[in-house]
Chain A
Amino acid sequence: MNEKQFLEELEKNLSSLREEDMKEILDDYKEHFKVGKKNKRKPSEIAESLGDPKEIAYDAKKELGEVNHFKKDLKQLGETIEDTTKNFYNSIRKYFIHKRKKSKGNSSKEKRKFWKALGLFSLNLLLMIWVFLSLYAVSFGFFVAGGAIVLSGFVTFFANTFILIVKTSAALNRLAISGMFSGIGIIALGLIWLKLTQKITKVFSLLVNKYYKWHRRFLKK
């Protein structure tokens, strides 16, 4: 594999990333080739020691956290709920054991733990699950709407193209041309809408992650 083949293969496997991330990654490897060639190594040799572009792309995506946000979020939400429930159950158990023994030593600490667990449990059950679920419902709704806009753009475009092809009156043709352009406009609008939705979903995903981390820290204290 030569330099060009390596970089092309890498680029192909990174195509799901944002452009600036992709460029940064590719630049690193271009630089690597440049320095390697300056050190009198053959490009094919450099490519060989770099390894499989597919594997590199996979690693790069994983490090960027781009490997399926939604799945990761769901997993974190699941763990949050599991943590809380386990913690809640344990604290209650300990609390009652202590109460029965009437030991004075640790009971205030256990009591505090109990209230903390109860608080988190109810916060998650009453509020957070619903907040996150509705966030997802909202972004899902936005995605569907975006898709519908794009679709209607296509329909407008092709319907007007069809009118143009069948060739009716001149006046109708003029209308059809403007209709075609508005079809393109609607498609563009839909794409922008989808892009924005993607950004919003990323913010949601970040929120879930932040909450998850806070949750973990809080329970450890």
Chain B
Amino acid sequence: MDTQLKKGVMDLCVLKILENKDCYGYELVQKISKNIKISEGTLYPILRRLEKERCLEKYFRESKEGPSRKYYGITRKGKQKSMQLNEEWSEFVKKVNKILK
């Protein structure tokens, strides 16, 4: 699948996963790359951008094994963005499917 196409929907994937539960970077990256083949490294810049847009916030939390880890949680603005992107995505899929039929 085309990488540009994948990158476009990564925002939505990241926000959706964080709606369920806060994650640290590695965890989040694994959750996505388990399902979608993508260069894992390109997800971190997306996280940083979403944080800059105040859709995510990061904090440090102690982990069971060893030093504290950087966790990401979704903000209210992030939830709004997720809803909006979700609608756009469904609309897009519907239209593409219509053409494919």
Interface residues of A (CB under 8 A from B): 24-25, 28-29, 31-32, 35-36, 38, 49-53, 55-56, 59-60, 62-64
State which of B33, B39, B45, B69 has its C-beta within 8 Å of the C-beta of A60.
Answer: B45
- For A50, the chain B residues whose CB sits under 8 A away are 39-41
Contacts A38-B65, A63-B48, A63-B49 known; A31 to B42 CB distance under 8 Å? no
* Total count of chain B residues near the partner, CB < 8 A: 18
Evaluate contact between A56 and B48: CB separation under 8 angstroms.
no
Evaluate contact between B46 and A56: CB separation under 8 angstroms.
no
Contacts A50-B40, A51-B40 known; A32 to B48 CB distance under 8 Å? no
Evaluate contact between B33 and A63: CB separation under 8 angstroms.
no
Evaluate contact between B42 and A55: CB separation under 8 angstroms.
yes
State which of B49, B65, B69 has its C-beta within 8 Å of the C-beta of A31.
Answer: B69
> Across the two chains, which residue of chain B brings its CB closest to A21?
B48
Smallest CB separation, B26 vs chain A (Å): 4
- For A35, the chain B residues whose CB sits under 8 A away are 24, 26, 69
* Complex Cα–Cα for A49 and B70 (A): 21
Evaluate contact between A59 and B70: CB separation under 8 angstroms.
no
Evaluate contact between A31 and B26: CB separation under 8 angstroms.
yes
- For B89, the chain A residues whose CB sits under 8 A away are none
Evaluate contact between B44 and A60: CB separation under 8 angstroms.
yes
- For B14, the chain A residues whose CB sits under 8 A away are none
* Complex Cα–Cα for A83 and B61 (A): 47
Evaluate contact between B41 and A51: CB separation under 8 angstroms.
yes
Smallest CB separation, B77 vs chain A (Å): 16
* Complex Cα–Cα for A124 and B26 (A): 48
State which of A29, A31, A64 has its C-beta within 8 Å of the C-beta of B41.
Answer: A29
* Complex Cα–Cα for A28 and B41 (A): 10
- For A59, the chain B residues whose CB sits under 8 A away are 42, 45-46
- For B48, the chain A residues whose CB sits under 8 A away are 24-25, 60, 63-64
* Complex Cα–Cα for A28 and B44 (A): 7
Say yes or no for B29: interface residue by CB 8 A criterion. Answer: yes
- For this complex, 28 residue pairs linking A to B, each with C-beta atoms less than 8 Å apart, are A25-B44, A25-B48, A28-B70, A29-B41, A29-B44, A31-B25, A31-B70, A32-B29, A35-B24, A35-B26, A36-B26, A49-B33, A50-B39, A50-B41, A51-B41, A52-B41, A55-B39, A55-B41, A56-B42, A56-B44, A56-B45, A59-B42, A59-B45, A62-B45, A63-B45, A63-B46, A63-B48, A63-B49
* Complex Cα–Cα for A38 and B24 (A): 14
* Complex Cα–Cα for A51 and B29 (A): 13
- For A31, the chain B residues whose CB sits under 8 A away are 25-26, 69-70
Among A28, A51, A62, A64, max chain B CB count under 10 A is at: A28
